[in-house]
Amino acid sequence: MSKKIYTQISLIILILFIISYVYFTYFKSIKEKPLKTANENSTKKIIKSSDDLISDMSYFSEDNKGNRYEIFSDYGTINTEKSNLIFMEKVTAVVYLSNGQKVSINSNKAKYNDDNNDTSFNGSVKMIYNEHIINAENLNLSFKNQTATLYDNVKYESSLSNLIADKIFINFVSKNTKIQMDDEKNNILVRSVINYGNN
């Protein structure tokens, strides 16, 4: 066998080895990485996925005004018919408003819309906004409009008063709050909280 043929065979074997090495070390490792996507305004992180259940789910979004929204859940599922709807369990969410204020929300469950960030929380909902603490069974959050509607068994607490109502609507931009009962004949129960100090 001539030296030229021996050199050509050696080069072919070397090229095949390099191609195999690149395939098994680079392309195969990409397939095994967890799903993580990003677009201009939001990012998603989904880890430990299975056919039906997704663990450690989180979504992040920011609008053009500097408001940020983060939502996390221990686990959840994606709607098979509408892939933009995510059903979450054991949920924590935080809205960072552009004016520096922060809104924290916890609930047993939530339905998150990946297209517009609208979220329906339900089951032992707790929202903390400045010195205000509101508990309810349900909360509808519109990140785009910066509004929240809490309803069903609403209990409000602050340093000045406590109240019980059927529904509370909050506009985080204008800071307007509307409190109401489903039956107009029922009154909103308000208790003043007076702190006399240690005098």
Is residue 117 assigned to a domain? yes
Residues 6+ positions from 144 with CB-CB distance below 8 Å:
63, 116, 117, 118
Judgement on whether residues 176 and 105 belong to the same structural domain of the protein: yes
Judgement on whether residues 97 and 25 belong to the same structural domain of the protein: no
**Structural domain of residue 11, as residue ranges?**
1-33
Q: What is the pLDDT of residue 81?
A: 83
Is residue 198 assigned to a domain? no
**pLDDT tens for each residue of the chain, 199 residues long:** 577 777 878 778 878 777 777 666 765 554 444 443 333 455 555 444 444 678 888 899 988 888 999 999 998 888 888 888 899 999 999 999 988 889 999 999 999 998 899 999 999 999 998 888 999 999 999 998 999 999 999 998 887 778 888 899 999 888 888 888 776 666 555 555 555 444 4
Judgement on whether residues 63 and 93 belong to the same structural domain of the protein: yes
Is residue 187 assigned to a domain? yes
Judgement on whether residues 52 and 145 belong to the same structural domain of the protein: yes
Q: What is the pLDDT of residue 28?
A: 54
pTM for this predicted structure:
0.67
Residues 6+ positions from 20 with CB-CB distance below 8 Å:
none
Judgement on whether residues 76 and 57 belong to the same structural domain of the protein: yes
Q: How far apart are CA 106 and CA 180, in angstroms?
A: 23
CATH number reported for the structural domain that contains residue 187 in this entry:
2.60.450.10
Is residue 140 assigned to a domain? yes
Count of the separate structural domains present in the chain: 2
